[in-house]
Amino acid sequence: MGLRCFRQKTGVDSLRADMNQRSRILLVEDDSALRETLAEVLTELGYQVACACNGKEALDQLGRGTPPDLIVLDLVMPVMDGWAFREAQRRAPSLAAIPMVVLSASCPSDNPQLRSLGAQAILPKPVGLERLVSALERVLPGGPVAVQAATLAH
């Protein structure tokens, strides 16, 4: 589904960008086109999005400032892959509890090794926007999409 159709179907065009309680997401993805597209869509949905192109850059960002409410993590990346990132994240007490959604083109979601990452959701690549948004709503139930849906229901 294209961005325009997705926006029309979900009512994103009516979402206010100035929402007070915006969930923060760190998007860790080495594919620049996918990273930029996902960041744009998530921002339009009302999330505050920071991006990193590999695990090392993500750890550097996590060491500076407020931690995100959620990490969306690719596994296969240069410099530091998602596996090494997750291991380092788990060793850091201030970062270990941040929930994670994993994107993977290399492993089926029922792979035991993949499940050992402890992610709240594992999504295959290419990821569909509806499936990603659904996972975000499950992990961040008070996030902008849930607020928008509740507003539209009244």
**pLDDT, tens only, 47-102:** 999 999 999 999 999 999 889 999 999 999 999 998 999 999 999 999 999 999 99
The answer to whether residue 124 sits within a structural domain is yes
CA dist., res. 54 & res. 80, Å (int):
6
The answer to whether residue 3 sits within a structural domain is no
pTM value? 0.78
The answer to whether residue 1 sits within a structural domain is no
Closest CA to 109 of 90, 94, 124: 124
Range of the domain at 99: 14-148
The answer to whether residue 35 sits within a structural domain is yes
